Structure 1
Amino acid sequence: MPLTKLTRKGLKFVRDANCEENFKELKPRLTTTPVLVVPNSDELFVVFTDASSTSLGGVLMPNDKVVAYASRQLKPHEKDYPTQDLELVAMIFSLKIWRSNVVADALSRKPHGTLACLALEEWKRTITVKQCQWQDEKLRLIWNQIQNGEQLDGWTVNVEGLLYHKGRLVVANIPDLRESIMIEAHRSKFVVHPGSTKMYQDLERQYWWEGMKRDATNFVAKCMVCQQVKAKHQRPSGLLQPLPIPEWKWDEITMDFGMGLPLTPLKHDTVRLIVDRLTKSAHFIPIRKDCKVSKLARIYVGNILRLHGLPSSIVS
């Protein structure tokens, strides 16, 4: 740690007694057992990672022999991550280091079987999209117009008969087809649950359909994995603090709405609930779900302000 701090920006390079002691301790650890071994591409590689409250790191080992170490201190915003997220950060950090080879070798080259599988899936998807384009009446009309010699801005048909818009393959308005494409772009074996913006950018390089960005946003919002492991990039909020007890009745009130109720003869389907925080006395006012703000204000004046006066605070 003392030696690492010397490499930071804006910090003077002062090698004190503590740094010298760490340096002397580091030399024998790097030059004695365990000694780093040369990697063998025929062996199975295993990556061990771990994270603490201050740093994270990993070790690359084939057959219980160390090939390489990697570590770094946590960034300021990472110190607020929960434990499971820090473990994932350590994994991603280690894998990025040992996948960044300039020349492709056994650690970074994909197997030929995987590449062949990708090519086959891409071919199958192209055939499916072509078949579905003919099922979309709007796309079939555009295709016929282009074949009749009309010039449509951005629309083209390639030699295989596929309809393209601005160089991107047009996907028909078939929910199952678009759903399958978004599933592959979000949670297949070759992606790691990207956010809505990244997912849309990946899709728009190859595909086009109306409302693609909206569909990608809604798809990510419904992904349970993303909702459960999403890291909060903010300081912990701490324990919930109760509100202070009011000193006078109807000086501080709470307001809420109960919706989805059966219709009354006057077409009311919502209850507006207003409660005094001190005495817990309440008013239940029937309203409609589509009631405007201006009407809500008039209802408040006629039912609450007229009887109890103006409160000092309203908690919704």
Structure 2
Amino acid sequence: NFYRKFIAGYSAISAPLHHLSKKDVPWQWGTDQQKAFSKLKSALGSSPVLNIPDLNKPFALFTDASQSATGAVLAQKGEDDEWHPCSYLSESLKGAEKNYPIYDLEFLAVIRALKAFRHYLISPVAPTIVFTDHKNLEYYKEPQKFSQRQTRWFSYVQGFPLKFSYTPGRLMTAPDALSRRSDHSPPEPIVATLLPPSAWLEGGVKPTVPTRGVYALSAEVYERAKSKMPKDSTLSTDNPEIVPHPDGTKRRKDRVYIPPGARKECLLSYHNHPSTGHPGIKAMTRKMVKDVWWPGMWKYIHDYVKGCAVCQSAKVITHPVTPPIVPNDVPRNPFPFQQISVDLITDLPVSNTFDTVLTIVDQGLTKVAMFIPCRKDVDSLGIARLFHKHVYARFGLPEAVISDRGPQFASAFTRELYKSLGVQSKLSTAYHPQTNGESERVNQELETYL
């Protein structure tokens, strides 16, 4: 109907075709319908519908794109001041073009039209108007981030005087029809089962209930569920929900009842089989409740998964438990430097023959820090002398000293010295500097300052 105003007697010609589109009219393509279709097809390619391009008049492009093809119409205004088509273009999408986003598809339709009608549009008498139903194309000249493909396209467009104009899709019937040609559309996907019914095995992959999916119960467990087993003490004898099935099993709401002797094998088939991948408690429960049942099944599943050695050793802990933070004990004597933390900052730039700083921080009361210069080769005796000179002379002996396991703080000399003086030594855990976090944090600030 997009070009009906250019075809004389359009209603009379298309009447047989419109009759087929009515409700409750059986579909029957006869001689009248074929004649009407051929006549309309011939009219669309002849005057006054299809015009010969006039290089002295401005051109216009009507473009559109779908998921299978692009369409375009080259048009010029006639004497009746209406847009008449000069040429049609329809081209299917190839390869990776089918994965383009909608913006790139719409712009691809423009690029294809410019390349096809380049000899008309490269130097027109007036800028070519590009009618599109994608409004974002109006802003293609504004600053934005371009992909490499878009950069190539925009570089090509610069050679054409264009003016984009947004037009609603309902008014773009002609390019829309060209972009949706049936011979350009991909075929409908074929829906088929992976295995033919003849290849399905009883108890292996054969569904016993027609409305269910693949039956996941192993053949061994299925056979044991059909055989007579010792009486189940957890199962009530007068349970009306459990009924016998023609295949020899007992069912509860179309789920196979598993007797006690086959439950371990059933759990193994749903958890340890290579195709299951050792599911967790919830995933395994969702799978089993579709096919099998016995009293207290969830408890069995929970205990089995929790006791699986493979899961415990190989699975990643997605919810690690963080141990609580335990602060250092507060000293009994509420005076400065009664509990201190010490550490060494080594390999600093040499200054006055010193390349190391001994950091001493009041752990419990004032948070005051002392920075004592020394050398990297200082030993336990040297640390004791520095401590005597700078700490003991001002604050006396501390109750406890927190440090890492450096040789200066963990040597036999230091341990004997602390023991004879009644000082408690608190060494940090190996590879766990958070134990002496106060000194480590002060060290960071000092290194940043230096």
TM-score normalised by L of structure 1: 0.37
Larger radius of gyration, structure 1 or 2? 2
TM-score by length of 2: 0.27
